[in-house]
Amino acid sequence: MTDIKTKTKGRYKNKGPQKTHRSKTFGMAQRAGRNIKKENRKNPDRPEYKPPEQLIEERSEFNEDVRKEIAHIRTTLSAAAVTKELKNGRRDLRNMTIVTIDSEETRDVDDGISIERLPNGNYLLGVHIADVAHYVREGTALDREAYERGTSVYLVDKVLPMLPQKLSNGICSLNVGADRFALSVMMTIDQKGEICRYEIFESLICVKYKITYKQIFSLFEGDVPPYHQDALEKEFKEHYEDLKTMKELAALRHKMRYKRGSIDFDFPETHVTTDPKGTPLSVETQRNTFANHIIEEFMLAANETVAEHFSWLNVPFLYRVHAHPEQEKIWKLSTEIRSMGYTLRGQETIHARAIQALLEAVKGKAAEPIISMLTLRAMQKAEYSPENEGHFGLAAENYTHFTSPIRRYPDLFIHRVIKEVFHGKMTPKRQISLRSFTGEAAKHCSEMEREAENAERLYTDRLVAEYMSNYIGETFEGTICNITSFGIFVRLENSAEGLVFYNSMPDYMIFDEKKMIASGESNKRKYAIGDPVNVKVVNCNVKMGQIEFHFTK
């Protein structure tokens, strides 16, 4: 879990007064129509995010000023540039064995890893991040555009990048065999997973090889045919021990984080496959493996190390913070899971370990996906802040985003601060200037992140709705994942989520918000979160990304 991300369904519109339902909220009965109207009232403090089609239109091209600037950027490092940087203190790590680990589709590679087992049994872990700040200088048209975008947007079948491809997929991308400028964090880690010593410095690197998550998983788990396994082992024979050491160290780091109370939301995510025209071909769930967790653990280690170091220096900075959950949401979560036979300890002063214990209790059980989702919804949103306020979900006192400067502006800004500190440019006057900027930047970048997430979610939901429109009239098994004053949400095995409106049900429905249960007034049939149900697909609104179900007998 690199960060806490909240995924909710919130685009279902009021279908008008529903006479077949009344809700019981804290002992008071309310008409569904009035209740929905209240829930859909626009909140002046909640911005209306741009839909994906608007972001695609706005971000598909970069403006002329940016294009002019990047025209002068070389596609390779010149000998003169390398010599100059080495004279200025950049360390030459080109002889170090550095690997990149990503998905098959990744083109904007901004992180590389090196590993060494020391004679005393400790580990020397290197996290090497593309030095994007070397090319994106403050105040340039390129910098202004990157700031406005705030983040790259990753839609199912396309990327709307924060930086032009000449940088993101070119000179800044850590491609195999290419000399690249980087910022490196070298960490000595003991056999308990604790960081003993570290160094942060500018470097010159050359990635020796790349491997995908699937290849690492297959290499160690042998889930492919023998001839594929033989080919894999032959291809990575030289690096097998290093990869094995990475797997070992990642497990140690995870164990250490778990002991301090860090929460891992490791449940299946929606994966949509499309054809070249963007038509959805399949919708399925996809779960991360230990191969993904290797990179996750190492990025977390680097982010915490950088945050702690610069927190002590007390220079202007952007931290990634995550507040404690709101008490009301914890009470609601406790009610929701109680109906499924689970409890949450310490509701008055909730600790991350209590959340961790709940997720551990449901691991591998049928209730795991639903309870994980409900728990995630109860969490606060992580955001950027100029103040180091800690990260609840990671149980970390210090945390920042340092490892993805190609796709996130806060990381780029942090690189800029680090380099200015290294080169003695962080004067008192400069600090005053940066401090006035960090508050504005934190708010803007948090907002751009939410806008990107909203677009990504809606884009995916539309494709899922389009895919499920092929199955209108068909029946599926599902699980109740939420109960509201106007209907019941059901999640299918392939992760498609839809709504059963109360007015589609034969009985007069009563919603008890205290118990999070809906029950029929006449037949007394009760519906609770986690209940298995059978539903029929009756309508798919592709534009809104909505699916409507009816219960079947």
Q: Helix or strand or coil: residue 245?
A: helix
User: Does 96 lie in the same domain as 234?
Assistant: yes
**DSSP classification of residue 183:** E
- End position of a domain, from candidates 448, 465, 482: 465
Residue 374 lies in a domain: no
pLDDT computed for residue 27 by the predictor: 27
- Compute the distance between CA of residue 189 and CA of residue 197 in angstroms, rounded to an integer: 7
Q: Residue range 216-233: average pLDDT?
A: 83
- Compute the distance between CA of residue 482 and CA of residue 491 in angstroms, rounded to an integer: 9
User: Does 281 lie in the same domain as 238?
Assistant: yes
User: Does 540 lie in the same domain as 444?
Assistant: no
User: Does 146 lie in the same domain as 38?
Assistant: no
User: Does 70 lie in the same domain as 188?
Assistant: yes
User: Does 163 lie in the same domain as 39?
Assistant: no
User: Does 479 lie in the same domain as 460?
Assistant: no
Cα pseudo-dihedral 437, 440, 443, 445, rounded to 10: -60
Of 483, 512, 485, 484, the closest CA to residue 35 belongs to 485
In this predicted structure, the answer to whether residue 9 has a pLDDT above a threshold of 50 is: no
- Compute the distance between CA of residue 263 and CA of residue 344 in angstroms, rounded to an integer: 14
Q: pLDDT of 469-511, one tens digit each? A: 999 999 999 999 999 999 999 999 999 999 999 999 999 999 9
**DSSP classification of residue 151:** B
Q: pLDDT of 375-426, one tens digit each? A: 999 999 999 999 999 999 999 999 999 999 999 999 999 999 999 999 999 9
User: Does 264 lie in the same domain as 130?
Assistant: yes
- Compute the distance between CA of residue 377 and CA of residue 10 in angstroms, rounded to an integer: 12
Q: Extract the tokens encoding 301.
A: 């280690």
**By percentage, how much of the chain surpasses pLDDT 70?**
91
pLDDT computed for residue 3 by the predictor: 61
User: Does 546 lie in the same domain as 453?
Assistant: no
- Compute the distance between CA of residue 11 and CA of residue 32 in angstroms, rounded to an integer: 17
Cα pseudo-dihedral 137, 140, 145, 148, rounded to 10: 80
- End position of a domain, from candidates 465, 485, 500: 465
pLDDT computed for residue 347 by the predictor: 60
pLDDT computed for residue 45 by the predictor: 44
- Compute the distance between CA of residue 393 and CA of residue 97 in angstroms, rounded to an integer: 33
Residue 356 lies in a domain: no
In this predicted structure, the answer to whether residue 21 has a pLDDT above a threshold of 50 is: no
Residue 255 lies in a domain: yes
> Could you tell me which residue, 344 or 114, shows the higher pLDDT?
114
Question: For 75-79, 134-138, 176-180, 352-356, which range has the lowest pLDDT when averaged over its residues?
Answer: 352-356
- End position of a domain, from candidates 412, 439, 465: 465
Of 333, 353, 183, 140, the closest CA to residue 264 belongs to 353
The one-letter amino acid at 287: R
pLDDT computed for residue 116 by the predictor: 98
Residue 341 lies in a domain: no
Q: pLDDT of 315-371, one tens digit each? A: 999 999 999 999 999 999 998 898 788 998 876 678 888 999 999 999 888 888 889
**Averaged confidence pLDDT in the chain:** 89
Q: pLDDT of 157-178, one tens digit each? A: 999 999 999 999 999 999 999 9
Q: pLDDT of 442-457, one tens digit each? A: 999 999 999 999 999 9
Biggest alpha carbon–alpha carbon distance for the chain: 83
Which H or E run includes 488? strand 487-492
φ, ψ at 131 (rounded to 5°): -85, 75
Confidence of residue 458 (pLDDT cuts 50, 70, 90): very high
**DSSP classification of residue 170:** I
In this predicted structure, the answer to whether residue 28 has a pLDDT above a threshold of 90 is: no
Residue 349 lies in a domain: no
User: Does 299 lie in the same domain as 213?
Assistant: yes
Residue 293 lies in a domain: yes
Q: Residue range 235-247: average pLDDT?
A: 94
Q: How many CB atoms lie within 10 A of CB 433?
A: 11
**Beta pairing, strands 509-512 & 517-520:** antiparallel
What is the domain range of residue 28?
7-46+472-553
φ, ψ at 539 (rounded to 5°): -160, 145
Residue 523 lies in a domain: yes
Q: Residue range 94-122: average pLDDT?
A: 95
pLDDT computed for residue 348 by the predictor: 66
User: Does 159 lie in the same domain as 188?
Assistant: yes
pTM above 0.85, yes or no: yes
Confidence of residue 47 (pLDDT cuts 50, 70, 90): low
Q: Residue range 431-446: average pLDDT?
A: 96
Instruction: Indicate the number of domains in the chain.
Output: 2
CATH number of domain containing 508: 2.40.50.140
Q: Extract the tokens encoding 309.
A: 């170091």
Residue 248 lies in a domain: yes
Q: How distant, in Å, are the alpha carbons of 9, 360, 398, 442, 496 from that of 477?
A: 20, 25, 44, 43, 11
Of 431, 401, 213, 397, the closest CA to residue 314 belongs to 431
User: Does 240 lie in the same domain as 137?
Assistant: yes
Using an 8 Å Cβ cutoff, are 73 and 136 in contact? no
- Compute the distance between CA of residue 334 and CA of residue 341 in angstroms, rounded to an integer: 10
Confidence of residue 308 (pLDDT cuts 50, 70, 90): very high
φ, ψ at 478 (rounded to 5°): -150, 180
